[in-house]
Every structure is written in structure tokens, then in C-alpha cells.
Amino acid sequence: MRRSSLAAGTLLTTLIQKQWPHEAVLISDEPLPPYQRPPLSKDYLAGKTARESLYLRPHSMYENAGHRLRLGERVERIDRVNKTVELSDQSTLGYDRLVLATGARVRRLNAPGADLEGIHYLRDIADTDALRSQLSPGQRLVIVGGGYIGLEVAAIAVKGGLKVTVLEAAGRVMQRVTGPEISAFFLAKHRDAGEEVRLDTSVIGFEADDDGHVAGVAVADGSTVPVDVVLVAVGITPETALAESAGLPCDDGILVDEYVRSGDPAILAIGDCTRHRNVFFEQPQRMESVANAVDQARTAAATLMGDDKPYDAVPWFWSNQYDVRLQMVGLSKDHDERVVRGNPRDGAFAVFYMREGHLVAVDAVNLPIAFMVGKKLVYQHRDVDAEALSDPDIELKSLV
């Protein structure tokens, strides 16, 4: 296994719980045991969570169960013929089964000045520590990208007394993952809190001061936004280089079947790095989420134990911004009808996304019951009465 990822940690834990009788070795280039990444752009950045509390399990739990963590080491090469991996210290390690949990890396901006000092990205603990050290009251922070990460950081920075500008290239925030009602609600939330959020605004470059530190962000309309700190949060790219060099089929993600087996049955792949089969979707999906990482890890554990269970998890997501918790289940992108329950002005509402009469996704804003009901209804793939979903006199629970 590779990378201190949630997927790798969950797989190891599941194997321990199921008393898998073999030894696992986790090889990670990060010098830390597997940890939770979601708090990095939330409580950990805000300084409310200690580093150790991010660890999925205590380091000792894995070793007490007879498994080894080789941290701070990299897998350089996979030799599929001899079933060995070559590590950064030139040693080799044999395997019967290999699991790739290589995750994803941040997408970098390819604009002039993008490597100036003061321009940050956020993917791991080290990135977050570096950014946090720069978030002092009164500083001007420009965030490139109005997605989950950009908006979560924006909210924390505003609360920390920074002056925040969000530059989003698309016509609405979180456009890739949600519908217009949710985007409009969060746009208003962020603007009301004092952020400047500019939509349809592409970054074309960065300007430096005399010390080579970023001082301005140039945008497509010709203007420049003066800045002290920049965060670029424009998505991630699956980390497939190792798999590709081993000749495993990849297509914007390591291709795996519904048992998370790659093109080589001795090699599994799980988490953000995969493009996978899910019995729920006609097309292979790539899913950037905690839920997918842990659910695929459990599928991998089943496959390793010869108890094959096809992957059938419904994707879900969440985000915390200011006093709002957004919980999402399913994929809304191909919906043909939207139903809103509640009123966004009350600060608690939900959007139900339908396709051909089925509920395919729910986005719930401060309304956990809608998320929980959605989790069941989407999984059951049942026809749902759209009118009942929006009728405040009908309890959501009664629809399950």
C-alpha cells in the first residue's frame, strides 16, 4: 500500500477487525500514519484540532496487530512479473497482493508567476501548516477557486480577521458539484460575511514585489487584485504515475472493476486515484471523496479475504462553511428535475434531484434529516413523489 491515506488506513483497520491472517506493510511517502484530510480545510486550519487527533487510528494499533508502517518512504517501481516493489532506499519488497492507494495531487495553475512565494495549495498537513502560519488578521487573502476547499478556507480566514477575495472562473460557486439553488445560497452567505466573491473571473498571472513574494493576482478583465497570501484551490488530479509505469490500464484514474481489481488481479486500487465500477452507475466514475475512500477500502478488504462483494456504495459528501453544514448524497449532475424543500431564507432547506422519477441526489443545508432520508432513497433507487418531497406537511421520514 502507499500513501498515508484514509483509504489505506481504513483498509488496514478493516483487515484487523476481520482478523485477516496475513501481514500488511503500508508504505507512505508522508511521515505520518493515515490521517483524516477533511479537517485540514476546516477545524485543523482554524486551529481547533490538534494534529494527533487527525490520525485515523493510533500508530500503535496497526503494529500491535502485526502490520508494519514504513513511513517517509516511496515506492519507485512495481515489478509485476516478480511481484516486488522497489523503494526509494533501493530495497525491494515482495508481495502477494498489492493495493494502490496513491490518492491525488492538487491541480496547479499554469500561469506566469504561479511559483512565487506566498502562493499556497492545500492537500496535506504540511500544506495546511504552511498556509495557517500566513493567516494573520488584516492580511489580504486571495483564493483562486470557489469550490469546497476554497470556500471552507475563505470562511475560516474571514473569521480570523483576514480580508478575503474569492476568484471563481465559472458562473457560480461549487458549480461542478451542486445545483444553482445551493450555489446561490452559499454565494450570498460568503458575500454577507464580507468576502468579495468574483464569478466568471479567470486568473491569468501573478505579480511579485521586490522580494519575489506574490503581491498581485492578475485577472482576465485586465485588473489586478493586491494580495499578501494566495491559496490556489482548483481541484485535484489522480496520482496514477506509478500504476501507469507498471503498465496498468489508466484513464484519468487507475481503472478498477467493482471488486477494486486493476488490470492485474494481484493489484487492487482504492480511493481518489481510481476510476471505478459501481453497480449504481452505467459509466466508470472517479470520485473525490472520503466516502469513496472508506467504502472502496472495505470492498478491497472483502476482495482480499475472498469474500467478494461488488462495490455499490452511494457517494456522499459534506462541507462546513460558517454556520452552515452542507450534506450531499448521490450525484446530481444528470438530473432532469429539482425539488426544493424549505426556504433558503430560513437557513435550512434541501434540494432533491430527480431523474426519470427516481431520486438521484440530495443536497441538504442545515437539514440532516433530508440527507439521511436521501441516503436511503437514493440507495433504494425507488420512484419518489416529487410533490411529497416539497410538502412541509409530509414528514420526510414517512417517504422511506
Partner 1 sequence: MGKITFIEHDGTEHVVEFEAGASLMQVAVNNAVPGIDADCGGECACGTCHVILAQEWFAKTGTPGPDEEQMLSMTPERAESSRLGCQVQTTEAMDGMTVRLPEFQM
**Which residues contact residue 78 at a Cβ distance below 8 angstroms, ignoring those fewer than 6 apart?**
84, 85, 86, 98, 242, 243, 245, 246, 267
The least CB distance from residue 230 to partner 1, in Å, is 27
Residue 367 near partner 1 by CB under 8 A: yes
Which of 369, 386, 388, 399 contacts partner 1 by CB under 8 A?
369
Residue 376 near partner 1 by CB under 8 A: yes
Cβ atoms 227, 164 nearer than 8 A: no
Q: How many residues bind partner 1 (CB under 8 A)?
A: 32
Q: Which is nearer to partner 1, 58 or 112 (CB)?
A: 58
Residue 121 near partner 1 by CB under 8 A: no
Residue 155 near partner 1 by CB under 8 A: no
Q: Which is nearer to partner 1, 173 or 367 (CB)?
A: 367
Residue 16 near partner 1 by CB under 8 A: yes
Judged by DSSP in three states, 224 sits in strand
Q: Given CA atoms 382, 386, 389, 393 in this order, what sign does their dihedral have?
A: negative
Judged by DSSP in three states, 70 sits in strand
Residue 399 near partner 1 by CB under 8 A: no
Dig out the grid coordinates for 8 from the structure. Answer: 489505506
Residue 17 near partner 1 by CB under 8 A: yes
Residue 39 near partner 1 by CB under 8 A: yes
Residue 368 near partner 1 by CB under 8 A: yes
Gap between the Cα atoms of 349 and 396, Å rounded: 12
Residue 318 near partner 1 by CB under 8 A: yes
Q: Which stretch binds partner 1 (CB under 8 A): 55-63, 145-153, 212-220, 300-308?
A: 55-63
The least CB distance from residue 50 to partner 1, in Å, is 12
The least CB distance from residue 268 to partner 1, in Å, is 20
Q: Which stretch binds partner 1 (CB under 8 A): 138-146, 147-155, 256-264, 367-375?
A: 367-375
The least CB distance from residue 327 to partner 1, in Å, is 6
Q: Which stretch binds partner 1 (CB under 8 A): 16-24, 79-87, 116-124, 280-288?
A: 16-24
Q: Quick one: DSSP state of residue 342?
A: E
Residue 301 near partner 1 by CB under 8 A: no
Gap between the Cα atoms of 342 and 339, Å rounded: 10
Residue 316 near partner 1 by CB under 8 A: yes
Residue 65 near partner 1 by CB under 8 A: yes
Q: Given CA atoms 290, 104, 67, 98 in this order, what sign does their dihedral have?
A: positive
Residue 343 near partner 1 by CB under 8 A: no
The DSSP code sequence of 167-178 is E-SSSSTTTTTS
Give alpha helix (H) positions in the chain: 6-17, 59-64, 125-132, 148-159, 180-192, 241-245, 290-304, 368-380, 386-390
Beta strands 75-79; 229-232: pairing state: unpaired
Give 384-393 contacts, CB < 8 A, sequence gap 24+.
384/352, 384/354, 384/357, 384/358, 384/359, 386/337, 386/339, 386/352, 386/354, 389/339, 389/341, 389/352, 389/359, 390/339, 390/340, 390/341, 390/352, 392/341, 392/342
Dig out the grid coordinates for 11 from the structure. Answer: 483498509
Q: Which is nearer to partner 1, 237 or 366 (CB)?
A: 366
Residue 58 near partner 1 by CB under 8 A: yes
Residue 340 near partner 1 by CB under 8 A: no
Q: Which is nearer to partner 1, 13 or 303 (CB)?
A: 13
- The residue ranges that bind partner 1 (CB under 8 A) are 13, 16-18, 36, 38-39, 42, 53, 56-58, 61, 65, 290-291, 294, 316, 318, 320, 325, 327, 366-369, 372-373, 375-376, 397, 400
